[in-house]
Structure 1
Amino acid sequence: MNKKIAILRGINVGGKRKILMADLRVLCEKLGWKEIKTYIQSGNVIFKAEASNSELENVLEKAILNTFEFDVPVIVRAAEELKQCVEINPFFKSEEDINHLHLTFLKEKPTKENIEEILSYNYEPDQFKIDKKDVYIYCEGKYHQSKLTNNFFEKKLKTGATTRNWKTVLKLVELSG
């Protein structure tokens, strides 16, 4: 079985769309997933399963809707994919950078036209680089003050997105190793 990471968008924020991680683990067990671990309340699940990433996304989204009665977008990556993201982050040069770094996961690879359009804007001092279905972000200040939000990338790239800070990304790689 392949090790995977499911990244949920927008749960347990401001008391809305609340899902306890224990309940999420039970739900994933019912789906037949193995070796399930969750990490922090933002909805990160490490597990083993055989299906494709997109199949796993659809199955978990439907299971959450049926169980908790609200929509939660889910993005799944193979553990090896996430490890490669860490290795190629263009903004990670030293531990000093870690608090400025974020990774936005895209549901689908954006079109060339949408990438060209988004690159025509200037967002300084914040910076980003798009690589396939990932967006590497460097925020000079706090992420919540940046224009480089999930909504921004979803609107401009016309695909679903969710973001994790670099500390969380590193921990997910460690837990999935």
Structure 2
Amino acid sequence: MKKIILLRGVTPTGRNRIPKMAYLAEILTEAGFDNVQTYIQSGNVILETALSDETIRKLVHDTILEKIGADLSVIIKTPAQLEMAFQENPFDETYDLSRIHLVFTNDDLDTEALNGLSQTDFGDETFVAGSECLYLYLPRDAKKKRLNTNFLEKQLGICMTMRKLSVIKRLSELSLLF
């Protein structure tokens, strides 16, 4: 079964840097995953496996930690979940598409905490909860930047990772090709 791996915490330099995505694909293939494809340097992987999500998460995490030294959280989604997230985007063409971000987690979201966030005034920034992810509109000229992964993780008490709408669209497309 195809899975999309979204790594949380990849940095361009320092401890959580992945030197080359081709090397990441190589070590994940060596770990036993099939048809491993990577997309851009921020830690997006498409692979095939029959393993459970819990086993995938541990194997990907431990392989990266052992071979690269990066301690990254692993968010796992199916192609159908990514396609649904892309299709449910609540922002229309009047929004700058490059400023739309989708936030994913493996964890269940606390409905009460989500309702509280949904009713919060974030100024120029917009927060919307969807069925597969959280949607953020983060205009470049927002006066006060509040909505980010760290803030949401603290508010919801879970691990999350953020991707631009264009990245999710491309990952969804790529997952259908391979």
Residue by residue, what CA displacement relative to the aligned partner does 1:60-100 show, whole Å, maximum 9, x if unpaired? 11221222233111101001110111111111x23863112
Residues 32 and 8 of structure 1, relative CA distance in 2, 3 Å threshold: same
Cα shift at 1:46: 0.8
1:169 corresponds in structure 2 to: 168
Q: Distance in 1 between matches of 2:171 and 2:14?
A: 24
Which residue identity is paired with 1:174? Answer: E
Does the 8 A contact of 1:108 with 1:133 survive in 2? no
- Show structure 1 runs of 5+ residues with no match: none
| TM-score (normalizing by structure 2) | 0.88
Percent pairwise identity: 29
Q: Distance in 2 between matches of 1:95 and 1:117?
A: 26
1:80 corresponds in structure 2 to: 80
| TM-score (normalizing by structure 1) | 0.88
Residue by residue, what CA displacement relative to the aligned partner does 1:116-135 show, whole Å, maximum 9, x if unpaired? 33234210211111234511
Correspondences of 1:56-71 after superposition (within 5 Å) = 56-71=56-71
Q: Distance in 2 between matches of 1:133 and 1:154?
A: 16
Which residue identity is paired with 1:17? Answer: N
Q: Distance in 1 between matches of 2:115 and 2:85?
A: 22
1:129 corresponds in structure 2 to: 128
* Farther-moved stretch of structure 1 (56-65 vs 151-160): 56-65
Cα shift at 1:170: 1.0
Q: Distance in 1 between matches of 2:128 and 2:69?
A: 35
Residues 146 and 55 of structure 1, relative CA distance in 2, 3 Å threshold: farther
Q: Distance in 2 between matches of 1:138 and 1:54?
A: 31
Cα shift at 1:142: 6.3
RMSD: 2.0
Correspondences of 1:1-177 after superposition (within 5 Å) = 2-19=1-18, 20-91=20-91, 93-94=92-93, 97-141=96-140, 146-177=145-176
Matched residue SS, 1:89:
coil
Q: Distance in 1 between matches of 2:90 and 2:137?
A: 9
Which residue identity is paired with 1:101? Answer: I
Q: Distance in 2 between matches of 1:14 and 1:68?
A: 13
Q: Distance in 1 between matches of 2:62 and 2:132?
A: 22
Matched residue SS, 1:140:
coil
Does the 8 A contact of 2:88 with 2:130 survive in 1? no
- Show structure 2 runs of 5+ residues with no match: none
Number of residue pairs aligned between Structure 1 and Structure 2: 174
Which residue identity is paired with 1:74? Answer: V
